Structure 1
Amino acid sequence: MFMGEYQHNLDAKGRLIIPAKLREQIGPAMVLTRGMEGCIFGYPLTEWAKIEAKLAKLPLTKKNARSFTRMFYSGAMEGEFDKQGRINLSPTLKKHAGLVKECVIVGVSNRIEIWAKERWEEYSDEANESYDEIAEDLDDIEL
């Protein structure tokens, strides 16, 4: 399970260090794709296989299903870590997430999320203000 918040910078070649604690759980490679709210989702290959199986069940007759899967897969890339624990991010994903230099890597259960620092701070501040209300709206969650 992924959790925590880490700050790192893109290097001059557009590579990002993924913290060792997260890399240990991910393995030698992961799949990165467009995430929600303007971030990048990163999945271990085993989790990606589960997502692929779920997406394969979406009906081709539904326009939203086609649109979502197109965007989700067209932005996806498999990335391997180099010896320093860096991963190269595609220009498409960097543009999607607004990544220029400062990044925040967030562990979220079965995936990691990569955010532009400013975007994460804005999202986090907003979500934090309504954290209790969000929790109340979630049915069947007992912590």
Structure 2
Amino acid sequence: MLMGEYLHTVDNKGRIILPSKLRDELGDSFILTKGLDNCLFVYSKEEWAILENKLKQLPLAKPEARAFVRFFFAGAAELECDKQGRVLLPNNLREYAKLEKDVAVIGVSNRVEIWSKELWDKYNEEVGPTVTQIAEDLAGLGI
């Protein structure tokens, strides 16, 4: 399971270090794509295959389904870390997630998310006070 929060920086070549605990779970190569909330999602190849199969089931005739599939696949890239545990983030994905210097790398069960530290802090400020209410709302789902 992918979990934890790690703070890193983007170097001048556009690379970040993926923590070893997360690298071990992701495998030698993995998929990086646009995520929701202006972050990046990182999936192991196995988890990406599960997501891909689910997305293939969406109805092609629905514009929303086509847009959602395009969103994930158009920006996706298969990547691997170098010997120092760094991964080069493609420029288009760095721009999408506003990754300039400080980043938060977080494990979220079946994926890793890479956030601009500024956006991560803002997200936590907005969501933090409402987590109790969110938990209460999700109680009906067995959580």
Please give the range of the TM-score, normalised by the shorter of the 2 chains: over 0.9
Partner of 1:64: 64
CA deviations over 1:29-84 (Å, ceiling 9, x no partner) = 11011111110000001000000100011111000000111111001101111000
Q: Partner letter of residue 52 of structure 1? A: E
- CA distance in structure 1 between the aligned counterparts of 2:121 and 2:52, rounded to whole angstroms: 31
Name the SS of the counterpart of 2:141 in structure 1: coil
Partner of 1:42: 42
Name the SS of the counterpart of 1:112 in structure 2: strand
What's the CA shift for 1:127? 1.0
Alignment of 1:3 onto 2:3? yes
Alignment of 1:141 onto 2:142? yes
Partner of 2:114: 114
Partner of 2:89: 89
Aligned ranges for residues 96-111 of structure 1 at < 5 Å? 96-111=96-111
Superposition RMSD in Å: 0.8
What's the CA shift for 1:92? 1.2
- CA distance in structure 2 between the aligned counterparts of 1:141 and 1:31, rounded to whole angstroms: 31
- CA distance in structure 1 between the aligned counterparts of 2:121 and 2:104, rounded to whole angstroms: 9
Partner of 1:55: 55
Q: TM-score, normalised by structure 2?
A: 0.97
- CA distance in structure 1 between the aligned counterparts of 2:44 and 2:119, rounded to whole angstroms: 24
Q: Percent identical across equivalent pairs?
A: 49
Name the SS of the counterpart of 1:130 in structure 2: helix
Structure 2 regions of 5+ residues with no counterpart?
none
Structure 1 regions of 5+ residues with no counterpart?
none
What's the CA shift for 1:124? 1.0
Q: Partner letter of residue 74 of structure 1? A: A
Q: Which runs of 4+ in 1 moved over 3 A?
A: none
Q: Partner letter of residue 10 of structure 1? A: V
What's the CA shift for 1:140? 2.1
- Choose 84-93 or 107-116, whichever is displaced more: 84-93
- CA distance in structure 2 between the aligned counterparts of 1:55 and 1:3, rounded to whole angstroms: 24
